[in-house]
Chain A
Amino acid sequence: MVEPSLVLYGALYERALDLLEDTLRETGARYALLIDRKGFVLAHKEALWAPKPPPLDSLATLVAGNAAATQALAKLLGEARFQEVVHQGERMGLYVDEAGEHALLVLVFDEGAPLGKVKLYGKRAAEGLAGIAQEALAHPPKLTLDTEYREGVNALLGELFGN
């Protein structure tokens, strides 16, 4: 199966952002992200009170890698998948849940956020986001990347790497 491209924009993107924002408020978590299974960030929100997050690309890549490994583990054990995963450190914690087949919800929280709330509202948000991801897949936008785009990127590549 070729991985379908998950694309979020317009109204769906706004809905995803709203959901992430609500989830931050309900759980007291610091950061909320929707990422695809390849490790690309599709949407993210930060609580206003929270300090600057770590590099989100790194976070998303590591979470996606971890989720892929966890799913492979589940398959070894005869399960299709494990559902949610919580990593809990002394102060910081990470909640990861599937938002459908192709995306993941990630919540980063500290000791100020009760784990019960993170799990309860995290689960609900993941379900909502799964619906959004499903809709995004069902109605992929028409892409108008043309030769002009290609030439533009090629010029940038030349500038960066030399020809």
Chain B
Amino acid sequence: MSTINFANREINFKIVYYGPGLSGKTTNLKWVYSKIPEGRKGEMVSLATEDERTLFFDFLPLDLGEVKGFKTRFHLYTVPGQVFYNASRKLILRGVDGIVFVADSAPNRLRANAESMRNMRENLAEYGLRVEDLPVVLQVNKRDLPDALPVEMVQAVVDPEGRFPVFEAVATEGKGVFETLREVSRLVLARVGST
């Protein structure tokens, strides 16, 4: 549910990057942060360990500008991917408007992708939400790996019914990063006003 602040004439949306450990969620946000001009972005907040693994979340506010007198803002979050951080992962899903699921193309992470998606379903269920009810975009990341699995194989494990839009990405080089964000934003907006 988007938060609308009539007083400040602001509409806020919350987008969460989900996925298994080291799949590239933070890298996505860092790329966005590095490319968005000053004035359109706030401070990026990262709660990470010394080796830069996300411990709680990363946060990046984006200002889109004003439409019909309403300032529209997207708040981007990542979750910690590691299995044992589920308690904090769950907290970050609170009030989410749209999700980017960042899957890893490496063969030895195929199972981790599937487990992370299952975990996301379980966590959403605790908020009374179903994956089917939310805008979700699948980003198959690390396409530059020499032994990267075919996109279809990753998709078959994460989204066997082919429900979510799919984007290939190399987040370290920015490939597919904006395209993914663009699509999830579009889906989130499509739900505004349609209710």
| Residues in chain A within 8 A of chain B (CB atoms) | 1-10, 13, 36-43, 55, 57-58, 61-62, 65, 68-69, 72, 141, 143, 145-150, 152-154, 156-158, 160-163
Contact = CB atoms under 8 A, between A and B. Distances in A.
Contact of B5 (A3, A4, A42, A154): A42
Given A40-B12, A160-B36, A150 B181 contact: no
Contacts of A61: 45, 59, 75
Contacts of A40: 3, 5, 12, 75
Contacts of A9: 5-7
Given A58-B59, A152-B67, A160-B40, 11 more contacts: A2-B128, A5-B1, A37-B94, A40-B3, A40-B12, A65-B91, A69-B88, A145-B68, A146-B193, A154-B186, A157-B186
A112 to B, nearest CB: 26
A147 B11 CA distance: 15
Contacts of B118: none
B45 A156 contact: no
Given A39-B75, A58-B45, A153-B189, A141 B6 contact: yes
A154 to B, nearest CB: 6
B189 A154 contact: yes
18 contacts: A2-B127, A2-B129, A7-B6, A9-B5, A10-B6, A13-B6, A39-B59, A58-B45, A65-B57, A68-B91, A141-B6, A145-B11, A145-B192, A150-B190, A157-B64, A157-B186, A160-B40, A161-B181
A17 B37 CA distance: 32
B164 interface: no
B111 interface: no
A51 to B, nearest CB: 17
Given A40-B12, A61-B45, A157-B186, A143 B193 contact: yes
B109 to A, nearest CB: 27
Contact of A148 (B62, B68, B95, B128): B68
A1 B61 CA distance: 25
Given A37-B95, A58-B45, A156 B64 contact: yes
A160 B92 CA distance: 26
Contacts of A13: 6-7
B48 interface: no
Contact of A43 (B7, B127, B129): B7
A149 to B, nearest CB: 5
A72 B193 CA distance: 33
B2 interface: yes
B156 to A, nearest CB: 28
B193 A55 contact: no
Given A157-B182, A161-B182, A8 B7 contact: yes
